[in-house]
Amino acid sequence: MASKPEETDQINAAPTKAFFVEMLVRDVPLEQAVLDLVDNSIDGAKQMDANDFKGRKIEIDFDRKQFRILDNCGGFQRQVARDYAFRFGRAPGTPSIPNSIGQFGVGMKRALFKFGRHFVVRSATSDETWAVDVDVDDWESKPDDWHFDWADFANGSEISRRKPGTDIVVDRLRPEVATRFGIAQFENDLTGLIKSKHRQFIADGLSISVNGTHLAATSLYLLVSNALQPGVETMSFGKSKNEIVKVRIVVGVGPSSPRDAGWYVICNGRVILEHDRRTVTGWGLVENEQGRTIIPSYHNQFARFRGIVSFDCSDSARLPWNTPKTDVDQDSPIWQKTFERMIEMMRPVIDFLNELDKDVGEFTSEESPLLDRVNKASPTKVETLSRKAEFRAPSRGSLKKVQREIGIQYSRPVKDVEYLEDALNVSSARAVGERTFDVVLKSQKAK
According to DSSP, the residues that pair with 124 across neighbouring strands are 129, 165
d(CA 311, CA 323) in angstroms, rounded, equals 16
Q: What is the pLDDT of residue 92?
A: 65
Q: What is the pLDDT of residue 223?
A: 97
Domain boundaries for CATH 3.30.565.10 within the chain: 17-214
Rg (CA), the chain: 31
Rounded to the nearest 5°, which phi and psi values hold at 411?
-120, 145
What is the CB neighbour count within 10 angstroms for residue 340?
A: 11
Q: What is the pLDDT of residue 218?
A: 85
Contacts of 166 (CB under 8 A, 6+ apart): 40, 41, 44, 69, 70, 71, 73, 75, 76, 121, 122, 123, 124, 159
Say what the alpha-carbon torsion angle 319, 323, 329, 331 is, to the nearest 10 degrees: -100
To the question of domain 221-398 being in CATH 3.30.230, the answer is yes
d(CA 423, CA 39) in angstroms, rounded, equals 77
d(CA 56, CA 205) in angstroms, rounded, equals 8
Q: What is the pLDDT of residue 104?
A: 46
Q: What is the pLDDT of residue 446?
A: 81
Q: What is the pLDDT of residue 63?
A: 96
Angle between helices 429-446 and 414-424 (to 10 degrees): 70
Q: Which of 101, 75, 328, 72 is closest to 194 using CA atoms? A: 101
d(CA 159, CA 128) in angstroms, rounded, equals 11
d(CA 128, CA 118) in angstroms, rounded, equals 24
Question: Could you tell me the CATH superfamily of domain 17-214?
Answer: Histidine kinase-like ATPase, C-terminal domain (3.30.565.10)
Distances (CA, A) of 325 to 266, 278, 332, 400: 10, 17, 14, 48
Tell me the pLDDT of the chain (447 aa) as tens digits: 555 556 667 787 777 888 878 887 888 899 999 999 999 999 999 988 877 899 999 999 999 999 999 999 999 899 988 887 887 766 666 667 788 887 545 678 889 999 999 999 999 999 999 999 999 999 999 988 888 999 999 766 789 999 999 999 999 999 999 999 999 999 999 999 999 999 999 998 999 999 999 999 888 999 999 999 999 999 999 988 778 999 999 999 999 999 999 999 999 999 999 999 999 999 998 765 565 778 999 999 999 999 999 999 999 989 999 988 899 999 999 999 999 999 999 999 999 999 999 999 998 998 899 999 999 999 999 989 989 999 999 988 766 655 566 788 888 898 888 888 888 888 888 888 888 888 888 888 887
pTM for the full predicted model = 0.82
